[in-house]
Amino acid sequence: MNLTSIEKEWLLLDEISFHKNIWEYVSQKGYWQDIFPAFVQYNTSYYLLKKINKNNLINDYYQKNQRITLCVSEDHWKGKVENIQSKIQINQKECFCNIQKSYVFKAGLYVIVSQVYENSEQLAILFLDHKNDIEYIPREEEFTKFYDQKHHLLLEHYKISFNGKISNNDFMIIPKEKYKKLFYLIPLREITTFCIVILGMYSFENSHSTKNLNEIETLKNQLLDLRKTINYKDTKEMVKKIIPYLNQLQRQEPQLQSIKKIFYTYKNKESYL
């Protein structure tokens, strides 16, 4: 739940500095799992909180040295906001929640996206912490766990369940269309960061050779530019360029095999929304 030194140093950086740090770290050390907690928060929870003007929450939990996790994914939701089953029923003084999420790591703050009961045009964003009675269900898959270089567990994912009351101060309502515009960019942000990680790993594994050196440098710079005006079309084209390097990596971590599946799924998508 506490921030690592990398998270503490990197989470408040601007986009270009953050990704230059990732490139330098992975290409020089050859290791990537210990940057994953920073990677995830930077592209998801920190991004969303900034966009909905909740920088105070970022600052508060950063000062507390605690992680913030965005909870969206559910079993069988297929990446579609419309398929989210979690719901909040809003009353005047308090609200009742029925929340089920499938891919969540333990944190100080849980930013949870849910449907609003009997209102198909809005979504609720809940802000829950460890004081709420959240149930954690461990995931057994090895690809849901991330380790530092000494093989100490850094982060693992759970399914979570929360059924209970919260106050009107513990959530905000936004139009569903506004959230979809914000959510649209989150997977693009994640996959472009993964692209830089993959190039960094390839560069480390081939540091003894000048093979593809100029092309890798060009791709890295293109990725840094893409982060400034990130969009679906350019991201999909970039994924196609990165896949050959991904396939040449020597390592076989289960987390990396899961990433390969994401890349090939993304490559073959006809559209994003």
Question: 113 pairs with which residues across the strands?
Answer: 125
User: pLDDT tens digit string along 97-136?
Assistant: 999 999 999 999 999 999 999 898 999 999 999 777 899 9
Helix H or strand E segment including 210: none
Other C-beta atoms within 10 Å of 20: how many?
A: 15
The segment(s) of the chain belonging to CATH 2.40.110.10 are 5-13+32-177
For 135, phi then psi, to 5°, come to: -95, 130
- Res 272: pLDDT: 46
Instruction: Give the whole-angstrom CA distance, residue 79 versus residue 227.
Output: 22
What is d(CA 245, CA 239) in angstroms, rounded to the nearest whole number?
10
Q: Is the pTM of this model over 0.85?
A: yes
Least confident of 43-52, 68-77, 123-132: 123-132
Q: What percent of the chain has pLDDT over 90?
A: 75
Q: How far apart are CA 127 and CA 109, in angstroms?
A: 7
Helix (H, G, I), strand (E, B) or coil at 32: coil
Say yes or no to pLDDT of 269 above 70. Answer: no
Own/partner long-range contacts of 53-57 (Cβ < 8 Å, ≥24 apart): 54/127, 57/109, 57/127
- Please report, for residues 29, 108, 204, 253, 256, the alpha-carbon distance to residue 62 in angstroms, rounded to integers and kept in the order given: 26, 10, 31, 30, 29
Burial 56-65 (b: 16+ CB within 10 A, else e): ebbeebbeee
Q: How far apart are the first and last CA of the chain?
A: 33
Q: What is residue 259's three-state secondary structure?
A: helix
Q: What is the pLDDT of residues 14-44, one digit of tens each?
A: 999 999 999 999 999 999 999 999 999 999 9
- pLDDT of 255 above 70: yes
pLDDT tier, 262 (very low <50, low <70, confident <90, very high otherwise): confident
Give per-residue pLDDT as tens, 202-222. 999 998 887 788 899 999 999
Evaluate whether 179 touches 84 at the Cβ level (below 8 Å): no
As a CATH number, domain 5-13+32-177 is 2.40.110.10
Q: How far is CA 241 from CA 43, 56, 115, 132, 209, in A?
A: 22, 39, 37, 44, 20
**Encoded tokens for 115:** 């449907």
